[in-house]
Amino acid sequence: MMKISLPTDQLTAALQAASRVAAPKASIQALSGAMISAKDGKVELKATDHEMSLCLPLPAIVDEEGQALVPAKLLADVARQLPGDSCQLHLEDQELKITSGSATFSLRVLRAEDFPVLPDPLEGTGVSLPAEQFFSSLAQVSKSASHDETRPILTGVLVSVEGDLLQMVATDSYRMALKKTALPEPVAHDFEAIIPARALEELAKLVGKQDQISIMLQDSRIVFLADEIVFSCSLLAGSFPNFRQLIPTEFEHELNLPVGQLKDMTKRISLMARQSAPVRLSFSEGKLKMTAQTPDIGQAEETMDVPFSGEAMELGFAPEYLLSGLESMNCKELSLKLISPIRPALIVANDDSGFLYLMMPIRLSA
């Protein structure tokens, strides 16, 4: 029967990741579990909810080989409270005994035979990308993906690599973020896939600090490998919106504005935009006035100098969308491109970093 020893903090960190992937309310009980396997002197921790799957190495000393499937969240809660720096896990008679310092827990195990076989990380067409560029691009676009499961295709990020160009796009139909990143060298195989944003964000927590990430495309899944970490998820089926048609090419006004000042002003004014109230941007000769008002709560306004000229224009935006776009900017200056109060506004990074953010305005009442 399995018997291993390992550092408590590393067990805790691995189990926290596993508990986010496992499905505690699944009809199949095995999907709520974390599988701990000790074989050939190595220990692995696995979890899956069928949509996502995870395999992590554990730095453990193996006294006896074996495997145990234990409720992931419960084991994570136990590990987090263990008093010692190290712990011992011992499987015997369908119970996993966890010992650390003066504390001992015994947990009933689940049927290991019911745990699904995880995807083979070596199958499929593979490419390798710099992890830093992959995840920094993801951080700029993922917040624009939808959380509405009735339109599942919009809950994903369109990820494509063609030659030495990585491109990511996400939209919830009210806003869109696009990031193009030049890679140090062309990839071995071009690819395009719609990957759930939730899965990509979980991946970033797991392997964001690695140097390289390998990607294996399979029929309906994608597998990511970094060091000895293996993470996979199902791809979203369907057609992603034709985002290129959504991006305007002609504008009435193009204003270069400081990102930091505009972001800080938006944060302040948004405090008074409650109960779906918009943030109003009123442009006049040389000025931008930003206002917000919520009945029975209060109002706020602030102005800044901007290079605007011509007929005055007022636009309204959802404060969380405007702020999200500004917070995704990794530059000092942006270009705000406007057509009319009812046409999309475009924010483009002015540092040639390949990031743009498109927002639909809100129709304003008088």
Q: How many domains does the chain have?
A: 3
- Judge if 306 and 202 occupy the same domain: no
Q: Is residue 366 part of a domain?
A: no
The stretch 323-328 carries a mean pLDDT of 96
For the chain, percent of residues with pLDDT exceeding 70: 99
Q: Is residue 89 part of a domain?
A: yes
Backbone angles phi, psi at 354, to 5 degrees: 80, 25
Please tell me the predicted confidence (pLDDT) of residue 126. Answer: 87
- Judge if 289 and 252 occupy the same domain: yes
103-108 and 66-71 strand pairing: unpaired
Nearest Cα to 191, choosing from 224, 226, 154, 227? 224
313-317 and 298-305 strand pairing: unpaired
- Judge if 239 and 296 occupy the same domain: no
Which of 114, 134, 162 lies at the terminal end of a domain, its last residue? 114
Nearest-angstrom CA–CA distance, 305 and 206: 43
- Judge if 256 and 283 occupy the same domain: yes
* Beta-bridge mates of residue 258: 333
- Judge if 80 and 59 occupy the same domain: yes
- Judge if 54 and 132 occupy the same domain: no
Nearest-angstrom CA–CA distance, 56 and 46: 6
The stretch 31-35 carries a mean pLDDT of 97
3 state DSSP class of 25: coil
- Judge if 155 and 183 occupy the same domain: yes
Print the domain residue range for 293.
247-359
Q: Is residue 120 part of a domain?
A: no
Which of 243, 273, 292 lies at the terminal end of a domain, its last residue? 243
**Residue pair 69/75 in contact by the 8 Å Cβ criterion:** no
Q: Is residue 364 part of a domain?
A: no
Please state, as a whole number, how many other Cβ atoms lie within 10 Å of the Cβ of residue 305. 10
- Judge if 218 and 170 occupy the same domain: yes
Q: Which residue has the higher pLDDT, 26 or 308?
A: 308
- What is the pTM assigned to this prediction? 0.93
Please tell me the predicted confidence (pLDDT) of residue 1. Answer: 85
- Judge if 186 and 162 occupy the same domain: yes
Q: Is residue 307 part of a domain?
A: yes
Sheet holding 66-71, edge to edge: 66-71, 33-39, 42-48, 52-58, 229-234, 221-226, 212-217, 125-130
237: pLDDT strictly greater than 70: yes
- Judge if 238 and 279 occupy the same domain: no
Which of 215, 243, 271 lies at the terminal end of a domain, its last residue? 243
Q: Is residue 212 part of a domain?
A: yes
What pLDDT band is residue 354 in, cutting at 50, 70 and 90? very high
152: pLDDT strictly greater than 70: yes
Q: Is residue 231 part of a domain?
A: yes
- Judge if 211 and 237 occupy the same domain: yes
Nearest-angstrom CA–CA distance, 360 and 338: 11
Q: What CATH number has the domain bearing residue 80? A: 3.10.150.10
- Judge if 223 and 302 occupy the same domain: no
Please tell me the predicted confidence (pLDDT) of residue 81. Answer: 97
Please tell me the predicted confidence (pLDDT) of residue 210. Answer: 80
What pLDDT band is residue 208 in, cutting at 50, 70 and 90? low
Q: Is residue 119 part of a domain?
A: no
Please tell me the predicted confidence (pLDDT) of residue 123. Answer: 87
